[in-house]
């Protein structure tokens, strides 16, 4: 029994008339009658009784109508869902983004994405670079928004596994305890006089941690006291408490009543990171992901400049 035959039968029972059903199905009555007769022959049971007022289902026909109507409805719903998946309107998006950028740059692109694909389940993860790259390679992550201190090196180290597109430069600032003793700009040598909090160094995707170590080694006359901290909020809390200093993205670093800090521009050396949109190379991505990539390339590029 074909779905087409079942659909035709359901319409005939709904309308109680072969001619009315044929009109709804945009076909003539003779091929519809032939299809119903073929279905009865195939099943070996009579499905319809002809009356003076049209047709009514037999007992077997009522059973087929009960089950068939549900099957047709579920097939239509499935077809619609599959079409929406194909258009990127259903499904999921698993996105890695370092949390400072979630608060500043992502809301705009996520709002635009939600307008286009309101039913896609968006999941945001905060992962270290190695974890994000492993997730992209193993299919646990769809897209990552990351920053690097060396685009060319990061692209070279990961060219077999991921695609990378630079979105723009992220300005860095010195993050300092809330005192009034700081100069208007901070040199890297000034920062080296204090314990400095930085993310872990990455061997596959050099980022802020690598940049901090490199600049301190180049500009500081003493061996710096670098302390590794994974979470941005933990860095701000420790700096606010006067335990040390840090360097972070300007757009994501603000002072609040619960965690006051001082912010100063950097006077010399490297003062930017490159924001990168990263996605898998050897994996066919669903339309829900490619739709996000297109929006991110348009929206985040403007926001990161």
SS3 (DSSP) at 42 = helix
* Residues 145 and 273 sit within 8 Å (Cβ to Cβ): no
Q: Please report the pLDDT score of residue 305 as a whole number.
A: 45
Q: How far apart are CA 212 and CA 196, in angstroms?
A: 9
Q: DSSP 3-state assignment of 220?
A: coil
pLDDT at 253: 64
- HSE-CB at 3 with a 13 A cutoff on CA atoms is 8
Looking at residue 112, what is its pLDDT? 86
Read off the pTM. 0.68
Residue whose C-alpha is closest to residue 199's, from 124, 151, 127, 252 = 127
Q: What pLDDT does 301 receive?
A: 59
| Rg of the chain on CA atoms, in Å | 31
Do 199 and 131 meet the contact criterion of CB atoms below 8 Å apart?
no
- Angle in degrees, 0-180, between the axes of helices 106-116 and 287-304, rounded to the nearest 10: 140
> Which tokens in the block code for residue 127?
């992962």
How wide is the angle at C-alpha 32 spanned by C-alphas 28 and 36, nearest 5°? 170
Confidence (pLDDT) at 85: 53
Helix/strand/coil (H/E/C) assignment for every residue in 68-85? HHHHHHHHHHHHHHHHHH
- Write down the pLDDT at residue 213: 92
- How far apart are the C-alpha atoms of 54 and 145, rounded to whole Å? 64
- State the DSSP H helix or E strand holding residue 167, giving kind and residue range, or none if neither: strand 162-176
Among 204, 190, 100, residue whose Cα is nearest residue 149: 204
Q: Where are the alpha helices (DSSP H) in the chain?
A: 3-15, 18-24, 29-43, 59-86, 99-104, 106-116, 129-138, 151-157, 188-191, 208-219, 232-240, 287-304
According to the model, what pLDDT value does residue 198 have? 93
Take residue 65 and report the two structure tokens written for it: 């109508």
Contact predicate 145/135, CB 8 Å: no
Q: What is the pLDDT of residue 284?
A: 83
Q: Quick check: helix, strand or coil at residue 186? A: strand
d(CA 144, CA 96): 4
DSSP letters for 87-132 = TTSSSEEEEEE-HHHHHHTHHHHHHHHHHH-TTSEEEEE---HHHH
Within the chain, which residues score under 50 in pLDDT?
88, 303-305
């Amino acid at each position: 029994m074909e779905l087409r035959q079942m659909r035709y039968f359901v319409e005939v029972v709904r309308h109680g008339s072969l001619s009315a059903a044929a009109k709804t199905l945009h076909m003539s009555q003779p091929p519809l009658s032939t299809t119903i007769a073929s279905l009865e022959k195939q099943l070996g049971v009579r499905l319809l009784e002809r009356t003076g007022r049209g047709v009514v289902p037999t007992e077997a026909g009522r059973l087929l109508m009960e089950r068939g109507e549900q099957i047709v409805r579920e097939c239509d719903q499935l077809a619609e869902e599959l079409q929406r998946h194909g258009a990127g309107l259903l499904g999921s998006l698993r996105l890695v983004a370092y949390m400072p950028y979630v608060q500043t740059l992502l809301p705009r692109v996520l709002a635009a994405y939600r307008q286009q694909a309101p039913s896609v389940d968006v999941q945001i993860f905060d992962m270290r670079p190695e974890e994000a790259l492993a997730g992209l390679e193993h299919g646990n992550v769809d897209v990552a928004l990351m920053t690097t201190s060396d685009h060319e090196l990061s692209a070279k180290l990961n060219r077999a596994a991921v695609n990378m597109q630079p979105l723009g430069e992220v300005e860095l600032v010195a993050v300092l305890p809330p005192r009034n003793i700081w100069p208007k700009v901070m040199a890297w040598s000034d920062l080296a006089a204090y314990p400095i909090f930085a993310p872990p160094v990455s061997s596959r995707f050099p980022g802020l941690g690598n940049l901090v170590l490199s600049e301190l080694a180049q500009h500081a006359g003493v061996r710096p006291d670098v302390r590794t901290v994974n979470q941005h909020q933990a860095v701000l809390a420790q700096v606010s408490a006067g335990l040390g200093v840090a360097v972070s993205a300007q757009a994501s670093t603000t002072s609040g009543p619960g965690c006051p800090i001082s912010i100063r521009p950097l006077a010399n050396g490297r003062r930017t990171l490159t924001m990168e949109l990263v996605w898998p190379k050897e994996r066919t991505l669903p339309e829900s992901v490619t739709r996000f990539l297109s929006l991110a390339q348009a929206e985040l590029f403007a926001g990161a400049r």
